[in-house]
Each structure stands twice: as structure tokens, then as C-alpha cells.
Amino acid sequence: MDKQLYEQSTQYRHWRRTSSELLQIRQDTHLQAVERVTLLLKDELRHKNSISADELPSPPTSQQIHNVVKFFEHGAHNFSEHFRNLNKETNKNWSDRATAIIFLKRWALYNSLIDHDQKLLPATCLYLALKCENVPIARDEYLLALGKTAPSAEQLLDYEGRILQGIGFELSVRHPFWPLKGFYIKLHEYIQATAPAMLHSSHFGNLSKSYAEAHRLVLASSLTDLYFTHWPAQIALICLRVACKRHFLEDVMQQYMQNIELASLAIEEEERTPEQTLLQQTQKQEALLELMKDAEHQILEVEPLITPSHPKHLDAISALRKVASEANKAIRPYLSPLLDANSYSSKRVKEEAEQERERKRMKKNAGFQLKNEAFSNVFGAIDVEKGAE
């Protein structure tokens, strides 16, 4: 991926954050949402002639909200389950799934689950991702494929607007899949140029296996915060390195990494004097390994969630569901009353909206009446002048 081109993207300019910044943004978003919902819940109690503070439920924590978001991110990943009834090759395009997850992840950064119907979010992100990744699908066909979990057409349209607004209408997602392909080609060329001819066949076979596995690891990375904190090329290299370790290419990959231009990975190289030349390769290696250390751990931590053949797959799914279920117990009592059409807050908002529409209608009618009176006065004056003549 071209460094200058990526730096011009909205992903780099608007969605690049450090881990500490992400934590602070999520906490701020959560506190603002809790403040809004607390006022609405107090209005509900006041309407019931009960304003005791003891009756207000305890708000969920920011971490509990984030735990449920992670559960729904994994739900957005499950394309094969959602589209098993469709005669489409959607499962072969991994970027569809990754885009859906990133849309949800970006949206949740500045929006809280307690203000929205959380069950509608994954389906909406999936639908939006399909359109953005040029996978044509009719809305009715999409809803049919979702089966019993499908929202109504009106709900899908409503939440599509919410997601779009929540991510600032910025639909471009720069995935690591493209730079991964570039690294694969370069590593293939490196093996061709440096490895003994007798090893080419086995190395190329292992490289193909590594490339396929790295694709899956890139998809796993979308379940982490790496899309916010790292460049796509960095994620791609990390995933390929892990995959090469598993397919007997660790030494080849390590040698290849010594020749990578750090500028292409957004790592600044210091100017070196001739005396420092001997240390150059070691310093490069240290910089790359430091970059990869924590990111690799994050990817390996979520890998079981998207790998049915992984020995920890079922345990990982079970743990994710358990944590989300416990978090939802704290979230449900603190959901915004506006989500209930029969609540006092919803009825009040609806009534205020109707009053506003009526006010605008009356203002518009009054304007028409004034125009009509003005025209009548003008034409009346003309008639008087004609009569006088």
C-alpha cells in the first residue's frame, strides 16, 4: 500500500487512534450516554409519581458495554450463517465480513448501546458492508436470508441511517488484505532469488499455505483494535509472519524482514553514519519485533473465535457469550426509555414532534394566506384604477 496514498485516506486522518485514546473516547461516550438516559429514566419515574433515587438502576460500566459490542462484532463476522440460504459467493470475499465488523467498531466508538436496539446493529452493518463492497443484493432477499433474526424493512432503513451518521458517512475501509498480497509476492520473489533450487518446491508450497492462513489471521485482526492503532501493511506483515512460523518458513521470513524498507511500514529510519552500518540490520529487526509483539498477541487471542478447527474454538465462543450475557444483565435495566414506544418519554417526544409539524404547517399556511392577501390587494388596486379611468 502506498504510504502517501494511505495518509490521504479518511481511515488514517479520522480513525487512527492510540490504545489510550480509544479507552478515553469509549469512556467519554459512555458517560454522555448514561447522563442522557439517567434524565429520561428520572422523567419516567416522575411521571409515575415516584422519584426515589433508590429506584434508579445502577448504570452499566463502559467495559460491560464494550463486551457486548465485541459479541456483536463476532456476530457480524458470521457471514456463512447469515447467508447459507443465498446462492451467492459472499463467503469467498473476506473483506465483506471485515468491513461489517469495522463499521460496527467505528460506530460503537462514538455511540452507546443503551441508546439503540443492539440486535439490529450487526444485520445493518452486514447489509451496508455488502453494498460498499460491491456485492449486489436486494433488500428483501437479504432479509429473507436472515430468517427469524431479520429486522423489518423499516428498521433496516432506520438503522442504516444511524450507522451512516454514526461513522460520519465515511465508508472507505483500508484492509490489510491488499498489502498481504504484496508481501506474498515479494516473499515469493525473495525465495526464488535466495533459496537453493532444490528447496523451491517445498518453500513455495508452504508459502501458499502461509498466505491462506494469513488471510484468516487478517480477518481475526478486525476483531481487535489494530485497525485503529496500526497501518494495514503492519497488520499484514504480522499475520504473514505468524503464518510462516506455522508452515516451516520462520527462518526465511526473518531473513526477508531484514530487507524490508521500514518507511513502507510507517517506521521512520534514522540517518546512519558508515560506522553504524553493521548495526543497521539488528536495529531494523528490533524495530519490527517491537512493533509486532503486542499486535501478534491480540490477533492470537481472538483467532479461536473465527476458526472452527481451533481446539479452543468452542471454549472461546462460550466465554464470549457468557461475558456478553453478564454484561447485558446490567445493560437491560438502563436502556433508553425511547426504545419503548409505550413509555412516557416516547409519547412525549412523539407529541412534541407532532406539535412541531403542526406549527410548521400553520406557519406555512399563514404565509400562503399573506401572499394571497397581498395579491388580492394588488389586483384590487388595479381594478380600482381601471374603474377610475
The answer to whether the beta carbons of residues 222 and 236 sit under 8 Å apart is no
Q: Give the DSSP H/E element, type plus range, for residue 259.
A: none
Nearest-angstrom CA–CA distance, 190 and 385: 97
Please tell me the distance from the alpha carbon of residue 343 to that of residue 274, in angstroms, as a whole number: 75
Contacts of residue 142, defined as CB under 8 A and 6 or more positions apart, other chains included, come to: 127, 130
**pLDDT attached to residue 368:** 62
pLDDT score, position 22: 96
Note the pTM of the prediction, 2 decimals. 0.85
| Chain position carrying cell 526473518 | 254
Residue spans of the domains in the chain: they are 19-173+312-339, 177-305
The C-alpha angle 234, 242, 201, rounded to 5 degrees, equals: 110
CATH number 3.30.70.3280 is the correct assignment for the domain at 19-173+312-339 = no
Position 78 scores a pLDDT of 78
**How far, CA to CA in Å, does 123 sit from each of 11, 48, 90?**
23, 36, 15
Q: pLDDT value at position 325?
A: 96
**H helix runs in 222-343, sequence order:** 226-229, 232-246, 250-257, 277-302, 313-331
C-alpha cell read off for 197? 533450487
Give the span between the Cα atoms of 271 and 152, in whole angstroms: 60
Amino acid at 85: N
Mean pLDDT by 10 residues, the chain (389 residues): 76 91 96 94 82 75 96 83 54 79 96 93 91 86 84 93 95 94 95 92 95 95 95 94 95 86 56 53 68 90 94 96 96 92 86 81 70 61 57
